[in-house]
A and B are shown apart, each in its own frame.
Chain A
Amino acid sequence: MMEEGRMTFWGIALCNLKRRPFRTACLVTLVAALAFVLFSGSQITGSASNGVDGLSKRLGADILIVPKGYDQKLEGILLRGEPSAFYLDASWIEKIAGIEGIEAVSPQLFVASLNSYCCSVPLQLIGYEQSTDFIVEPWIKTALPKALADDEIVIGGLISGRTGDKITFFGREYRIAAKMGNTGTGFDASVFMNMDAARVAASDCAEKTGAAPPPDGSVSSLAVIVAEGFTASGVTGRINNEFDYGNSGVVPVAAKKIVDGVSGGLRALTGFFGALSAILWAVSLLVLCIAFSVMSNERKREFGILRSLGFTRKRLAALVLLESGAISLAGGAIGILLSAVMLLPFQTYIGEAVNMPYMQPTPAQFAATAAFALLLSFVTGPLASLPPAVKIGRSDAYTAIREGGL
């Protein structure tokens, strides 16, 4: 049975690959490395791209207003969920709402938790005004159709816990009313509660840590929506003029500026992986081209004998293409499999390492990326073996056997 198999067209190709196991293994490894980089690069940039999309959808506001000097902290909260607490006098809500070109203003209160039940790191607690909110509520509504009670919270996708579970912050128990889906942003590591509950949590925090409690009625940031016919940059300038920028104690941050900053990082990441993939692809193509040329030169005698046994020129060329195709297919599959095994479990760590919003692609995106990487790896082999295959197709049996040294 085995012997019969070897005499087939596929059998001859496989036997040729098996005859030189070290060379075959090296070529498969080369293509596997190419597939690994192609797939990993596409997955990482795709996840970062999803994260940036999620961030721009998730922000929901055109301008965010924070106390002077806390604009960087705001980015930390939005992008990475880094816990911070800072306060702004509530009178700013009225002042900002009175500026021309502003359609809506909604306050949020940030409280940094102590080590909680689950984790040795603090979490960001975010209180929001349910009557005016347009940032948190639209996302929560999908999972929670009613308003949050004072002892209820909504947790981000990165925090473990199920609806109905109890979590303790500063000695007070809260019931998980809903869990948000992953957004790839800092909100995934945040806990949301209504404004009254957040004020109580802030007082509890001050009591437990000995820090100064937040001033009565204070908030941390104001989310602003710009009215139609006005631009965010125009309104930002108006806020600065109105309140004597630099001395007013508040800083307006255009949401687009935060997204643009992250998009810049994404472009750099995409460029890096694009360049790495292109270099590796060119190197793989060159090495495979040289390897197949050397192989076909070594096998001139074999090709001449096959021609004299009745193999057509087309069939000989197809044999070379088949061998190279088998190498690149095996390499591509191994590279993608290894990459998937490495990437999937470590996605949280990779997301932290790239330091930008990171959201795993959907299964369809994952499959499309794998197919793309496999296709590109697969064509590399036959493409590299095309010149020797054409050359073999041109030579006649007699010359091939003579040149082969028989």
Chain B
Amino acid sequence: MKNRVFTGIGAIILGLLVSLGPQYLFRLCAPLADGSFMRCHWTGQAEIGLGALIALLGLGLALSPSAEVRLGLSVAAILACAVVILMPNTLIGGCGMRSMACRAVTFPALTVAGTLGMIGFAVNALYLYRGQRRKAALQ
């Protein structure tokens, strides 16, 4: 129960951070004077979806009583966190100068959040896997 609540709430918070952080907390670059967007805007849009996905996985982690299902959700969350890191750094990218807001603050924050998420979900997956093995050995 403790594991469910802890990992579930943690994942929901992480998902909200990834989703809403670039829009409100560690903000992306402002649009250009003519109203057009730079590349980092689209990274922000992609992160909204990824963050929502992580939050949903978190909801599943919190509600699912089955350890096997939570193990699968944790592995899925690890992959989602990996994509959170890849979006700004490889897949879409951002503005042309490293001193711009997106590359100085938003992307590092997403990278740190994604890395910590990956570590956290990996530890959780390992914990659940070992629990399953122990359970199987007792049976």
Nearest CB in chain A: distance from B72 CB, A: 27
Q: Is the CB of B112 within 8 A of A342?
A: yes
Q: Which of B71-120 contact A (CB under 8 A)?
A: 95-100, 103-105, 107-109, 111-112, 115-116
Distance in angstroms between the alpha carbons of A158 and B103 in the assembled complex: 11
Known pairs A349-B105, A352-B104; A120 contacts B116 (CB<8 A): no
Nearest CB in chain A: distance from B67 CB, A: 22
Which of B100, B104, B107 lies in contact with A120, CB distance below 8 A? B100
Distance in angstroms between the alpha carbons of A159 and B103 in the assembled complex: 11
Q: Is the CB of A345 within 8 A of B100?
A: no
Distance in angstroms between the alpha carbons of A20 and B104 in the assembled complex: 42
Q: Is the CB of B112 within 8 A of A119?
A: no
Q: Is the CB of B32 within 8 A of A348?
A: no
Q: Which of A87-146 contact B (CB under 8 A)?
A: 115-121, 123
Q: Which of A315-348 contact B (CB under 8 A)?
A: 341-342, 345-346, 348
Determine whether B30 belongs to the interface, using a CB cutoff of 8 Å to chain A. yes
Q: Is the CB of A119 within 8 A of B111?
A: no
Known pairs A341-B116, A346-B108, A348-B103; A158 contacts B97 (CB<8 A): yes
Determine whether A193 belongs to the interface, using a CB cutoff of 8 Å to chain B. no
Known pairs A341-B116, A346-B105, A352-B104; A118 contacts B96 (CB<8 A): yes
Determine whether B38 belongs to the interface, using a CB cutoff of 8 Å to chain A. yes
Closest B residue to A160 by CB, please name it: B96
The dominant DSSP class at the A interface is loop
Determine whether B29 belongs to the interface, using a CB cutoff of 8 Å to chain A. yes
Nearest CB in chain B: distance from A333 CB, A: 14
Determine whether B33 belongs to the interface, using a CB cutoff of 8 Å to chain A. yes
Determine whether A161 belongs to the interface, using a CB cutoff of 8 Å to chain B. yes
Nearest CB in chain B: distance from A51 CB, A: 14
Q: Is the CB of A119 within 8 A of B96?
A: yes
Q: Is the CB of A345 within 8 A of B29?
A: no
Residues in B whose Cβ lies below 8 Å from that of A341 = 112, 115-116
Determine whether A370 belongs to the interface, using a CB cutoff of 8 Å to chain B. no
Closest B residue to A346 by CB, please name it: B108
Determine whether A189 belongs to the interface, using a CB cutoff of 8 Å to chain B. yes
Q: Which of B33-79 contact A (CB under 8 A)?
A: 33, 38
A165-203 interface code vs B (CB 8 A; 1 in, 0 out): 000000000000000000000000100000000000000
Q: Is the CB of B30 within 8 A of A348?
A: no
Q: Is the CB of A115 within 8 A of B112?
A: no
Known pairs A119-B97, A159-B97, A160-B96; A345 contacts B112 (CB<8 A): yes
- Residues of B within 8 Å of A, CB-based: how many? 22
Distance in angstroms between the alpha carbons of A224 and B98 in the assembled complex: 31
- Residues of A within 8 Å of B, CB-based: how many? 21
Distance in angstroms between the alpha carbons of A387 and B4 in the assembled complex: 44
Q: Is the CB of A120 within 8 A of B99?
A: no
Distance in angstroms between the alpha carbons of A119 and B104 in the assembled complex: 13
Q: Is the CB of A352 within 8 A of B99?
A: yes
Which of A116, A118, A345 lies in contact with B107, CB distance below 8 A? A345
Residues in B whose Cβ lies below 8 Å from that of A159 = 96-98
Distance in angstroms between the alpha carbons of A345 and B85 in the assembled complex: 11
Q: Is the CB of B111 within 8 A of A120?
A: no
Closest A residue to B106 by CB, please name it: A349
| B29, B30, B97, B107: residue with the most chain A Cβ atoms closer than 10 Å | B97
Which of B30, B33, B96 lies in contact with A161, CB distance below 8 A? B96
Q: Is the CB of B108 within 8 A of A120?
A: no
Nearest CB in chain B: distance from A349 CB, A: 4
Residues in B whose Cβ lies below 8 Å from that of A118 = 38, 95-97
Closest A residue to B26 by CB, please name it: A349
Nearest CB in chain B: distance from A18 CB, A: 16
Residues in B whose Cβ lies below 8 Å from that of A115 = 32-33
Give the A-binding residues of B (Cβ under 8 A).
29-33, 38, 95-100, 103-105, 107-109, 111-112, 115-116
> Knowing that A116-B96, A120-B29, A120-B33 are A-B contacts, what are 10 other residue pairs whose CB atoms are under 8 Å apart, sorted by A's residue number?
A118-B97, A119-B95, A119-B96, A121-B97, A121-B99, A160-B95, A345-B109, A348-B108, A349-B105, A352-B104
Q: List 17 A-B contacts (CB under 8 A).
A: A118-B95, A118-B96, A118-B97, A119-B38, A119-B97, A119-B100, A120-B32, A120-B100, A121-B100, A160-B97, A189-B97, A341-B112, A342-B112, A345-B107, A348-B99, A348-B104, A349-B104
